[in-house]
Amino acid sequence: MDTVLVLLHAEAGGGVSNAGLEAVEAARRQGGPVVIGLVGTETDEAARAVSGAGRVLVVEGVAFAQARYATDAAAARALVSAAGAGIVIAPATSRWSRCLPGVAQRTGGRVDTHVSGFGEGSITRWYYRQRLEASLTRQERPWFVLLEAGSGPAYAGGGGDCEVERVHVDVSTRTAVKGMVSPQTGQQTIKPEAEMLFVAGAGWTKKQKDGAVHVQQAGELILGFLGASGASLGSSKSLVDLSGEGHAVLPFLSHLNQVGQTGATPRHAKGLATCCHGEEPHVVGWRFIQDRRAVNLDANCGWARGKADVLYVADAFAVMEEVNRLLGG
């Protein structure tokens, strides 16, 4: 049976992300030997989080603090070789997604991205914007699998002491990381691990019954709800496109918030759409949201046509004001 290596970065706060623990659990359920490969400046806390899951190899050093193709690829390659891995699983973070296809090429292996399930030597993934699901396996080794967050349960057996084996990597790079630029102005609104998705549509910026727009009030209501509920913020394309056109809109939204055919397909347990019409190109991004609700003034909007479990035909300004009051926000 193949040895499965799970590649993880130690997070800035010290531990392992939930997506990383999901990858560990997926590897464990395979039933064969599991090796965890940790990369970071300091990996002690991360090692505790995965204790009990298998043999732990670490690549440590300041060079591995920042996302950088050359150093991440060198660390991954050294860990694959030290583990003697046939299958390599990593959470589909931007960092691993960027370097692992190159590592697969260098090691003569193969890579599959956007994988939504792994078990019994095969993977599942979606094609054509989540309209077709395929199950596939590969003969080539090492086989790299980038697992999407939220695809399965997270490993919960850690917390104990953990013996680690250090792997030395010669670092050679001409790329210096000078800093980070975040596309979000203000607070972090995209939270893949939140239980709930809150979607804001273009209606928040449209003229309301008094004939005026109330963008500032809309922003306060949305941020108030996000703060009180911990929900992740999604948007319709129309709303984020408005900001690109320079209109007065909600400053905390960017294209990264967009849900839909040309946006994201998040995996929260619940979703609430507000001032969003519920057109097919938007709702296709809700494929994995289990409990769907919407607030819209229009009883004939897209959500009413079988796309939401519950549609509240109401003014979202009034509804969210009351919801925030009840939440104490």
Ligand X SMILES: Cc1cc2nc3c(=O)[nH]c(=O)nc-3n(C[C@H](O)[C@H](O)[C@H](O)COP(=O)(O)OP(=O)(O)OC[C@H]3O[C@@H](n4cnc5c(N)ncnc54)[C@H](O)[C@@H]3O)c2cc1C
The residues binding ligand X (CB under 6 A) are 201-203, 206, 208, 236-239, 258-263, 275-277, 279, 281-282, 285, 295-298, 301, 315-317
Buried b (16+ CB within 10 A) or exposed e, 294-324: bbbeeeebbbeeebbeebeeebbbeebbebb
- Residue whose tokens read 């589909």: 92
The Cβ of residue 48 has, within 10 Å, a number of other Cβ atoms equal to 18
- Directed axis angle between helix 215-229 and helix 316-327, to 10°? 40
CB of 248 vs ligand X, minimal distance in Å: 16
Minimum CB distance to ligand X smaller for 77 or for 129 = 129
- Residues counted in the chain: 329
Burial class (CB in 10 A: 0-12, 13-18, 19+), 252: buried
Minimum CB distance to ligand X smaller for 51 or for 265 = 265
Minimum CB distance to ligand X smaller for 47 or for 239 = 239
CB of 320 vs ligand X, minimal distance in Å: 9
Minimum CB distance to ligand X smaller for 70 or for 319 = 319
CB of 324 vs ligand X, minimal distance in Å: 15
CB of 300 vs ligand X, minimal distance in Å: 9
| Contact predicate 206/274, CB 8 Å | no
Which residues touch 77 (CB under 8 Å, ≥6 apart)? 103, 106, 107
CB of 260 vs ligand X, minimal distance in Å: 2
| Contact predicate 149/8, CB 8 Å | no
Minimum CB distance to ligand X smaller for 74 or for 273 = 273
